[in-house]
Amino acid sequence: MSWYDEVEYIRKQARENNKFFAESLPMIASENVLSPLCKEMLITDFHGRYAEGTPGHRYYEGCKFFDRVEEKAIELGKKLFNCNYVDVRPTAGTTANMAVLKALIKPGETATVLDLANGAHISFGKWGAAAVRGINLVSYPFNDEEMNIDIDGAVKLIREAKPKLALNGRSVFLFPSPIKELAEAAHEVGAYLVYDAAHVLGLIAGKQFQDPLREGADVMTGSTHKTLPGPQGGVVLSDHKGDTEEDKSFLMRLNFGVFPGVTSSYHLHHVAAKAIAFAEHLEFGEAYAKQTIKNAKKLAESLYDRGFKVFGEKLGFTESHQVLLEIGPGKGKEASKKLEEAGIITNMNTIPGDTDPLNPSGIRIGTPELTRIGMKESEMEEIAIFYERVLLKNEDPKKVRKDIKEFRKNYQEIHYCFKEGFRGYDYYEIVP
């Protein structure tokens, strides 16, 4: 192939990918779509520039315009999350977690965590960022019925283990965590509590979930591309004011954890898009978060009514953007593949009791992207029927795929952003 053919091959895959998702039901809980103004920032000249350090204190010249953007992103972040400290430099949620671990705990020291099988994120697991830092991990007990940390058992564990950090990082996040109780126990033994809000950052910012920084968390990390529908990236937040020597030292450690800890230059075009996303979420975030949760609850109820095993039944299934289904021992991957063939994009997921993450027994479903393109409760009821047809009635996925393509034709506009009603195919298509 010539160089031109190689380039065209890549462009074709991108166009095919865009078309595929425009004709499907994207329901991966960690995914979302960008507004046109966020997307615009990603193709600016910021993309190729460097800005190590902080505004006004750079290792490179030529940063005066970007300094204004980063300062605005920090200002908007403080307003959105009602906090005193915002660092928008992390390039991913996992990078934000790595920065906090670098800042606040030494190799060999102890942190309390949630097990992966109980919904923890891999960055706080024995194969992820915590392992890179060489941390001794001790797991919280878990209440399978409530799909949450066992409060009394976790408090007891923290008092006995005396960790340096009490971590709350979750990838399956159906209900708010008992942060107040965990933070009180952590502070008793001189530990910091770290809340990984990667999945629920937009719900928190929209004031529809819990408020970790007011409930006692010392640090909150997050991803800026899930329920907060911005560019892929991360953020570190704290309500510590830096008004004492201890507080100043704490915030300085966080700063150093990000740079030079785990970043050099930090994707300046993404920082600009984060600033846009923060501004949009200040305007539209509450309505978007409310509808996202309403959709998740209705979808869970509808799936349950059609015969699916849905976790969290006794507590209303979910209070977030997520739904967790039990498919059968080791059948999560097979089920997610069948759904993909039908045009429903999900992911296999471990459930309580699973020991093999490559052959889990569940599926995790999310509503952020469907909400973003204008779907509401009635559409969730229709979508539950598609799941039933594929997984319970064993219809040919190709037949269901045709019906999903037709169904999706009516949902091609992006909502909850400054250019309301932006056409989906304008968004999804790459200019030839």
Could you give the CA distance from residue 380 to residue 377 in angstroms, rounded to a whole number?
Answer: 5
Burial of 413 (0-12, 13-18, 19+ CB in 10 A): middle
Contacts of 343 (CB under 8 A, 6+ apart): 23, 24, 25, 400, 401, 404, 405, 408
- Beta strands 165-169 and 309-310: pairing type? unpaired
- Cite the residue boundaries of each domain of the chain with CATH code 3.90.1150.10: 285-428
| pLDDT at residue 428, rounded to an integer | 44
DSSP letters, 43-84, are TSGGGG----EETTEESSSS-HHHHHHHHHHHHHHHHHHT-S
Query: Which of the listed CATH numbers 3.90.1150.10, 1.10.10.60, 3.40.50.2300, 3.40.630.30 matches domain 285-428?
Result: 3.90.1150.10
| Element holding 286 (H helix, E strand) | helix 268-305
- Cite the residue boundaries of each domain of the chain with CATH code 3.40.640.10: 39-274
| pLDDT at residue 354, rounded to an integer | 87
Q: Which CATH architecture has domain 39-274?
A: 3-Layer(aba) Sandwich (3.40)
What are the 10-residue block averages of pLDDT along the chain, 432 residues in total? 92 95 97 95 96 94 98 98 98 96 96 83 74 89 92 97 94 94 98 97 98 98 97 97 94 96 95 98 98 98 98 96 97 98 96 89 97 98 98 98 97 87 47 36
| pLDDT at residue 427, rounded to an integer | 44
| pLDDT at residue 422, rounded to an integer | 57
| pLDDT at residue 430, rounded to an integer | 38
Rounded to the nearest angstrom, the gap between the alpha carbon of residue 42 and the centroid of all alpha carbons in its chain is 20
Rounded to the nearest angstrom, the gap between the alpha carbon of residue 159 and the centroid of all alpha carbons in its chain is 30
| pLDDT at residue 421, rounded to an integer | 55
